[in-house]
Chain A
Amino acid sequence: MTTPASRAALTVRPIDASEHLDFVRGRSSVSFLQTPAWAAVKAEWRGESIGWFDGTTIVGSALVLYRQLPKLKRYLAYLPEGPDIDWTDADLARWLTPMAAHLKAQGAFGIRMGPPVVTRRWHAGTIKQAIADPVLGSLSEVPADELDDTAIGVVATLEQLGWNEIPTTGGFSAGQPKFNFQLPLAGRDEDAVLAGMNQLWRRNIKKAAKAGVEITTGTRDDLAEFHAVYAETAERDHFTPRPLPYFERMWDAMTAEEPDRVVLYLAHHEGDLVAATTMVRVGTHAWYSYGASTTAKRDVRGSNAIQWQMIRDAMAAGATTYDMRGITETLDSDDSHVGLIQFKVGTGGEAVEYLGEWDLPLNRALHRGFTTYMRRRG
């Protein structure tokens, strides 16, 4: 990347889905929110694949989702967990400036992106100790076990280029979570991963096996069964469930791209479905995306068993990261969200902090109006 020839200006132009998919397949991994299939999942947004070109060679890609402003032909251009460009390039302007020009020409009044850049990592042991310490209330107050200076340098560059970080409260924003929990799999075998889990996880995995919990993978037809359990979970945990057609659309779009892009897991005990989940994988990165469990038969530990099966399948498929997705920043043991972190911490993985989501206003008045509108919408 440092030879003079490669320092030429990059161009950005739309690419078709197959060109986009070819580029994604050539990468170790990108976020599943940056695959061409995701545009089909997000029906209320208009999707566009774009590529960065150095001469005729494609060197980066992104999925852009356009959300129209009410009554206006102007759009927010959103690149969730993207774009997939060389974030270690000290000259980020040569990537982001032509992107902004292209999106503006497409009618964008503002751009929102979530650079897939990890700034800090905290190991499970550190988090566990921090939760036990009443003085430490959030991850930011806990010394990180790994800090990426280059990634932190990106913040200064983005600010220079006019981007603003979208503030979050407790790590939750309207968009994708800033703090995530990941289980590293690279260079580890099943025994090593199991040994890294806490005693409760190991005991529950054994307990489920002894109780005769069976894990199978399902087909599109089993989505309805998954959805029934998911709706039960939503009611119990007080969140708004997505309708079944959403999952069917996701299934169709994603499996059309790669047959095993998304896999449905079902945990049965004596014929009863006790837990159901989906796992998404792009290259070396596997995500636990949706999970549900019944209130009945919690003691057979279907949740632990189904996670363990997904982890083993991810390893077998060559994944180096098993991603359990968002956590809140809180470590306050009185906060109800801490239970979720504790469940994830039990896998022996690590909390990772991403750069967060960033906005570039292209039309300040419209952008301000949109921000207010979104805030009212909640």
Chain B
Amino acid sequence: MSGFELDVDAARWRRHVAATVEARRGLVPVIKGNGYGLGRSLLAMEAAAVGLGTIAVGTYAEVPGALASFAGDVMVMTPWRPFFTDAVLDDRVIHTLGRISDVADLAALAPSARVLLEGETSMSRHGLDRHELAAAVAALGDLRLEGFAIHLPLQAASGGPGRPGGNVAEAESWAAALETSQVDTTTLYVSHLTPGEVGALAARRPQLDIRPRIGTSLWLGDLGALSVRATVLDSHLVSRGEHIGYRQRAMPRDGTLLVIAGGTSHGIGLEAPKASSGAVQRGKLLAKGGLEAAGLSLSPFTIAGKQRWFAEPPHMQASMIFVPASVTAPEVGDAVDVAVRFTTATFDSINLR
């Protein structure tokens, strides 16, 4: 224990990965970004270890690393663009195409490249309109079509406004469109469908080979196998009104000031827009007003069963945390639990135990 670390109960974590691979036939593991906190190369090796032949990465920047650590095929989920300077043209790479002009451009640049066509779903992010499919097929030339991909919104099952039936209905509509289109493939890659939804879709579309692309629920599906711990590097008794830190802020009460490993470079204190925005959630945030009014905000470090307050904004590699005098503070060298958003966390070390 020396810094900001992730401990993995390797046997338990691998059990979940293997069980997911077993339960979700044809899955393609998504290995992108920070590798869900575990690192992309570790995940690539785990994917190989459970016998998977294809992995999906987010961007072309992630392709060279994936090719180096994985012997199978590497699918790129961000659609190829002619202006990408880092696109890797390798026979193990499967490109995604979402615009007719891109199909024609890639066919000219790399005539025998392996490709997926992507349909534009209610995500409205990337992809072809269903009425463009024939033109896209015409533009394929000698490109090798390996499948069709759709990316659905997160909100599963319950239909949102304007989307009666939700993801399953939208996926089935695309499956039907694929079957009536000129797109000559029976492989459909889907994202963000529950196992039940994929099962229902596969049962209703037996001609299609439905392949789910899965990241979070594969790698982070059993959070109990993962624990994040940060080392207490220093501890100081402080009194009310004492000025501390870079910003020489006055402490609101007597207590202990802890210096703990883990700062902005680890992903601490970086806020993404909240996924949950319900009334209850907003109410909770308001209710935390007390110490926020004193200029403090809640940290992800848990001490004596409670999340504690930052004494000042997190530093690059460590954080200063205030613990009131009524609580027994941990000793220097002790580890404390940290709640992290794995997709933005970077660890000093990952320990498979």
Given A129-B179, A129-B180, A133-B179, answer yes or no on A143-B173 (Cβ-Cβ < 8 Å): no
Q: Which of A120, A129, A135, A136 contacts B131 (CB 8 A)?
A: A120
Answer yes or no: B340 CB below 8 A from chain A CBs: no
Within 8 A of B (CB), among A123-137: 126, 129-130, 133, 135-136
Contact between chains at A143 and B172 (CB < 8 Å): no
Answer yes or no: B181 CB below 8 A from chain A CBs: yes
Answer yes or no: B182 CB below 8 A from chain A CBs: yes
Contact between chains at B134 and A135 (CB < 8 Å): no
Closest approach, in angstroms, between the C-beta of A285 and any C-beta of chain B? Answer: 24
Q: In whole angstroms, what is the CA distance A143 to B137 when docked?
A: 12
Q: In whole angstroms, what is the CA distance A212 to B173 when docked?
A: 47
Closest approach, in angstroms, between the C-beta of B299 and any C-beta of chain A? Answer: 50
Given A135-B172, A135-B176, answer yes or no on A143-B181 (Cβ-Cβ < 8 Å): yes
Q: In whole angstroms, what is the CA distance A145 to B132 when docked?
A: 8
Within 8 A of A (CB), among B240-268: none
Q: Mark A113-154, 1 if CB is under 8 A from B, else 0.
A: 000000010000010011001011000011111110000000
Q: In whole angstroms, what is the CA distance A144 to B182 when docked?
A: 9
Q: In whole angstroms, what is the CA distance A135 to B176 when docked?
A: 7
In chain A, what residue has the closest Cβ to B175?
A135
Answer yes or no: B177 CB below 8 A from chain A CBs: yes
Answer yes or no: B130 CB below 8 A from chain A CBs: yes
Within 8 A of A (CB), among B156-179: 172-173, 175-177, 179
Q: Mark A190-217, 1 if CB is under 8 A from B, else 0.
A: 0000000000000000000000000000
Contact between chains at B134 and A136 (CB < 8 Å): no
Contact between chains at B180 and A142 (CB < 8 Å): yes
Q: Is the interface of B mostly helix, strand, loop or mixed?
A: helix
Answer yes or no: B133 CB below 8 A from chain A CBs: yes
Contacts of A135 in B (CB 8 A): 172-173, 175-176
How many of chain A's residues touch chain B, expressed as a range? Answer: 10 to 19
Contacts of B179 in A (CB 8 A): 129, 133
Contact between chains at B180 and A130 (CB < 8 Å): yes
Contact between chains at B173 and A146 (CB < 8 Å): no
Contact between chains at A145 and B134 (CB < 8 Å): yes
Closest approach, in angstroms, between the C-beta of A110 and any C-beta of chain B? Answer: 31
In chain A, what residue has the closest Cβ to B169?
A135
Contact between chains at A147 and B135 (CB < 8 Å): yes
Contacts of B172 in A (CB 8 A): 135
Contact between chains at A126 and B180 (CB < 8 Å): yes
Q: In whole angstroms, what is the CA distance A95 to B175 when docked?
A: 43
Closest approach, in angstroms, between the C-beta of A171 and any C-beta of chain B? Answer: 16
Contacts of A126 in B (CB 8 A): 180-181
Closest approach, in angstroms, between the C-beta of B180 and any C-beta of chain A? Answer: 5
Contacts of B173 in A (CB 8 A): 135-136, 141
Q: Mark A137-180, 1 if CB is under 8 A from B, else 0.
A: 00001111111000000000000000000000000000000000
Q: In whole angstroms, what is the CA distance A143 to B128 when docked?
A: 11
Q: In whole angstroms, what is the CA distance A142 to B177 when docked?
A: 6
Q: In whole angstroms, what is the CA distance A146 to B100 when docked?
A: 13
Contacts of B130 in A (CB 8 A): 141-144
In chain B, what residue has the closest Cβ to A125?
B180
Contact between chains at B177 and A145 (CB < 8 Å): no
Q: In whole angstroms, what is the CA distance A126 to B179 when docked?
A: 9
Within 8 A of A (CB), among B173-197: 173, 175-177, 179-183
Closest approach, in angstroms, between the C-beta of A201 and any C-beta of chain B? Answer: 21
In chain A, what residue has the closest Cβ to B172?
A135
Q: In whole angstroms, what is the CA distance A144 to B177 when docked?
A: 10
Contact between chains at A136 and B177 (CB < 8 Å): yes
Contacts of B133 in A (CB 8 A): 143
Closest approach, in angstroms, between the C-beta of A138 and any C-beta of chain B? Answer: 11
In chain A, what residue has the closest Cβ to B131?
A144
Q: In whole angstroms, what is the CA distance A141 to B178 when docked?
A: 11
Contact between chains at A143 and B180 (CB < 8 Å): yes
Closest approach, in angstroms, between the C-beta of B138 and any C-beta of chain A? Answer: 9
Closest approach, in angstroms, between the C-beta of B98 and any C-beta of chain A? Answer: 15
Q: In whole angstroms, what is the CA distance A120 to B129 when docked?
A: 13
Contact between chains at B176 and A145 (CB < 8 Å): no
In chain A, what residue has the closest Cβ to B182?
A145
Q: Which of B132, B180, B182, B183 contacts A136 (CB 8 A)?
A: B180
**Of A120, A129, A142, A145, most B-chain CB atoms within 10 Å:** A145
In chain B, what residue has the closest Cβ to A129?
B180
Closest approach, in angstroms, between the C-beta of A316 and any C-beta of chain B? Answer: 32
Contacts of A133 in B (CB 8 A): 176, 179-180
Contact between chains at A147 and B132 (CB < 8 Å): yes
Contacts of B181 in A (CB 8 A): 126, 143
Contacts of A143 in B (CB 8 A): 130-131, 133-134, 177, 180-183
Q: In whole angstroms, what is the CA distance A142 to B176 when docked?
A: 8
Q: In whole angstroms, what is the CA distance A34 to B134 when docked?
A: 32
Closest approach, in angstroms, between the C-beta of B162 and any C-beta of chain A? Answer: 15
Q: In whole angstroms, what is the CA distance A133 to B172 when docked?
A: 11
Q: Mark A95-124, 1 if CB is under 8 A from B, else 0.
A: 000000000000000000000000010000
Q: In whole angstroms, what is the CA distance A126 to B177 when docked?
A: 10
Contacts of A142 in B (CB 8 A): 130, 177, 180
Sample (19) of A-B pairs whose CB atoms are under 8 Å apart: A120-B131, A126-B181, A130-B176, A130-B180, A133-B179, A135-B172, A135-B173, A136-B177, A136-B180, A141-B130, A141-B177, A142-B177, A143-B130, A143-B131, A143-B134, A143-B180, A144-B130, A146-B134, A147-B134
Residues of A within 8 A of B (CB): 120, 126, 129-130, 133, 135-136, 141-147
Residues of B within 8 A of A (CB): 130-135, 172-173, 175-177, 179-183
What are the 5 tightest A-B residue pairs by CB atom distance, in nearest-first order?
Answer: A143-B181, A135-B176, A144-B131, A143-B133, A143-B130
Taking A130-B176, A136-B173, A145-B134 as known contacts, 14 extra A-B pairs with beta carbons closer than 8 A to each other, sorted by chain A number, are: A126-B181, A129-B180, A133-B176, A133-B179, A136-B180, A141-B130, A141-B173, A142-B180, A143-B131, A143-B133, A143-B134, A144-B130, A146-B134, A147-B131
